[in-house]
A = this chain, B = another copy of it.
Amino acid sequence: MSTKIRYTVVGAGHGGKAMAAHLALMGFSTTLYNRTPENIAAIQKRGGIELEGYEGGPHGFGQLERVTSQLGEALEGADVIMVVVPSTAHVDVAKAAAPHLRDGQIVVLHPGRTCGAIEFVKALHDQGCRADVTVAEAETLIYASRSEGPAQSRIFRIKEAVPIAALPATRTDRVLEALAPAYPQFIDGISVLHTGLNNMGAIFHPALTILNAARIESTGGDFQFYIDGVTPSVARVLEVLDRERVTVAAALGIRAQTAQEWLKMAYDASGADLYEAIHNQTGYYGINAPSTLNHRYIFEDVPMSLVPIAALGQHYGVSVRGIDSIIRLACIINRTDYWRRGRTLDKLGIEGLSVSEVTRYVNEGVRD
């Protein structure tokens, strides 16, 4: 039964290649799409991806059904479309996919960052797509993986529990059911506001990069990002940003996880404060800083994660001055207006909604 689900993976980066190979190895009919033909030429030639894994993990040659740069072809006949691209590309994927989507198809963003599914649905709608498509988002990418060659991938870890939510949430069960044969790890994420507001990268990535700006740029990132880069004062900034995020969630009636709760849950790392908890996460040792400030920790996490959190905060009366400070410095450093590029409420199509209206929208899909 499980093999009846036909998958299309959109994006052949680190995550997309791992997912496509893994799905194929699990016996699912899998299509891999990438916009740039050169990026998948070697995979096309071999007909699949060679997957290496950790001890006991999936490995072997994942034979793909199709490998294509034609999106229409890629989406045709797919039951589930796994979008594994940087969140800055979600809108472009939605616009390009809109004419090709059909009733009953499921689209899952891996991950949505913050408000990814809302933005995707809005883009489909704006493009005139009237197909009955279910859009969902994962809270984080299920794989830790790396592309190790043009047609090679290595999976280091598969996360054990990843929340997922559909827009509207009434359709989350349908998505979980479709994914379950391949991924029993996906669990009910309640709503896309929950998955989006539990975005820990939003808190960790940009602030750590900014508060280590000079060192990153003068050393090319040659220091341990979470160890040398997180000092007691820096952790204090993270705590304030985290509190702002959790408070934004609370204003929307949502109990988001704190960074400390998340470190405890995900890594069993704890401590008296965030500084201690981070330093007690052994997995952080040895991870170096980004080599440049022109990095996805800024150009993706600021517009796609911090901006929507700040925008929600401003709209629903929560002080987000710490988050706003980081956004502002990021704008200056990379000479980019991340507010203009980012997921503001008008771009998400939820600019006029009250808390009960936005709640009803994400839960039931109803817009008054």
Contacts and interface: CB of A to CB of B under 8 A. Distances in A.
Interface in A307-346: 321-322, 324-326, 328-329, 332-335
A210 B207 CA distance: 11
A356 interface: no
Contacts of A230: 214
Copies of this chain, tallied across the complex: 2
A234 interface: yes
Nearest to A233: B333
B236 A335 contact: yes
A309 to B, nearest CB: 16
A218 B226 CA distance: 12
Contact of A214 (B229, B240, B333): B229
A333 B217 contact: no
Interface residues of A, number: 31
A210 to B, nearest CB: 7
A237 interface: yes
A228 interface: yes
B212 A215 contact: yes
Given A214-B234, A293-B233, A328 B321 contact: yes
A277 B328 CA distance: 24
Contact of A236 (B234, B326, B332): B332
A333 B334 CA distance: 23
A322 B327 CA distance: 10
By CB atoms of chain B within 10 A, which of A213, A217, A230 has the most? A213
A78 to B, nearest CB: 42
Nearest to A230: B214
